[in-house]
Chain A
Amino acid sequence: SYELTQPPSVSVSPGQTATITCSGDTLGNNFAYWYQQKPGQSPVLVIYQDFKRPSGIPERFSGSNSGSTATLTISGTQAMDEADYYCQAWDSTTVVFGGGTKLTVL
């Protein structure tokens, strides 16, 4: 079955750039999506169709997708960005989520 692989954790200092990767076989041939989930809350879509930001998502969130890796970049990371982040894509028959990355801002 198709798998999306994310690092379990990423740490970043406030104001610096956080980079979270998502790897999957030929992922670049499909759209990648990213969700932010804070403790006790529902996931929130932060990037769709590789790089587009939904209304209300700050410009510091950006995305890219090429080859076998999609990347979520958070520029000027703020304490409020501390959360779990999940990538998502479509396999030939099902929606697939990555295992999630816990972003710590310290």
Chain B
Amino acid sequence: QVQLQESGPGLVKPSETLSLMCTVSGGSMNNYYWSWIRQPPGKGLEWIGCIYYSGSTNYNPSLKSRVTISVDTSKNQFSLKLSSATAADTAVYYCARQAGTMPGAPYFDYWGLGTLVTVSS
């Protein structure tokens, strides 16, 4: 059973970089895309972007200028960096395994528990 666990600071100051890590256990990262998805308190889901195990990335155009996703398959981890954070970036951040085809028909079959990141001074 694949499990994902997010980790990182729960509080980030405005204008700083939000950094999170996702650790994958119970399965290989090979041959899959791995995604970050966020959910502001009381609101809906927003896809941030994904990375293939080999390192190729796809980002949400609305966030692309501020997002970097990287992967370290030797550690079974992938990470998110979101620069120039503002209060609008306050959300629960989920990491997820992306199944289906990319591009074209991606979906998310395993999710982490999520971690709340608050952007505030």
How close is B14's CB to chain A, nearest CB, in angstroms?
26
The one of B47, B61, B114 that contacts A42, using a Cβ cutoff of 8 Å: B114
Chain B interface size, under 10 / 10 to 19 / 20 to 34 / 35 or more: 20 to 34
Q: Given the complex, which residues of A lie within 8 Å of B61, measured CB to CB?
A: 93-94
Q: Given the complex, which residues of A lie within 8 Å of B47, measured CB to CB?
A: 94-97
Does A71 interact with chain B (Cβ within 8 Å)?
Answer: no
**Taking chain B's interface residues, is the majority helix, strand, or loop, or is none over half, making it mixed?**
strand
**Residues 82-115 of chain B: 1 if any A CB is under 8 Å from the residue's CB, otherwise 0?**
0000000000001000011001111111011110
Given A93-B61, A97-B45, A99-B44, do A42 and B105 touch, yes or no (CB 8 Å)? no
A94 B104 Cβ-Cβ under 8 A: no
Task: For chain A, residues 42 to 85, give those with C-beta under 8 angstroms from any C-beta of chain B.
Answer: 42-45, 48-49, 54
Given A31-B100, A33-B107, A48-B107, do A42 and B45 touch, yes or no (CB 8 Å)? no
In the complex, 6 of the A-B residue pairs with CB atoms within 8 angstroms, ordered by the A residue number, are A31-B100, A35-B45, A42-B113, A44-B111, A49-B105, A90-B103
What residues make up the interface of B, taking CB atoms closer than 8 Å to A?
35, 44-47, 58, 60-62, 94, 99-100, 103-109, 111-114
14 additional A-B residue pairs with CB within 8 Å, beyond A31-B105, A88-B108:
A31-B100, A33-B107, A42-B94, A42-B112, A44-B111, A49-B100, A54-B109, A90-B104, A90-B106, A92-B103, A93-B103, A94-B60, A94-B61, A95-B106
